Amino acid sequence: MKFIRPVSFIMIILFIIVGVNKIGDSEIDHARVWTIDDSKSYARDKLEIYTDKQWQCLNKLWTAESHWREKAYNRVKVMGKHAGGIPQILDMSPKLNPTSQIDRGLSYIEFRYITPCRAWEHHLRKGWY
């Protein structure tokens, strides 16, 4: 997978850090809360080597799994483990930060399905990925 653009990464870090007053000429909150849109932007940047179709598949997949909520938690156990976070991966703590959840989710997809669209196709057939 290609690394995210340095500018995007810097913006994400600056948004997360408490106490940053400005990014360029725009003001931001001291304690800005990470949002679903932030998670989607981060994931989209991580997928820049893929086509837009792959982003659409990932967006559908993780919307179906968690609605992109970082604190999503499945109380139903599978193989003795709960699924959590944005990608709803088994044994993932919903307390893990969103960027780590996304990174782990994309790594899992790449390892098991190669592309987000293949993971989405599997999800449509089986109801899980």
Q: What CATH number should be reported for the domain holding residue 95?
A: 1.10.530
* Structure token digits, residue 20: 């940053």
Note whether residue 122 is domain-resident: yes
Residue 23 in domain: yes
From 21, 16, 74, select the one nearest 42 (Cα to Cα): 16
- Whole-number average pLDDT of the chain: 82
* Any domain includes 1: no
The reported pTM is: 0.68
Q: Which residues touch 39 (CB under 8 Å, ≥6 apart)?
A: 68, 70, 86, 98, 102
Mean pLDDT of 63-90: 95
Residues of the chain above pLDDT 90, percent = 66
State the pLDDT confidence band at 31, using cuts at 50, 70 and 90: low
State the residue range of the domain holding 10: 6-126
| Number of domains present in the structure of the chain | 1
The string of pLDDT tens digits covering residues 2-25 is 444 444 544 444 444 434 444 444
User: Per DSSP, which regions of 1-128 are E strands?
Assistant: 22-23, 26-27, 73-78, 81-84, 89-90
Domain assignment present for 35: yes
Q: Is residue 13 part of a domain?
A: yes
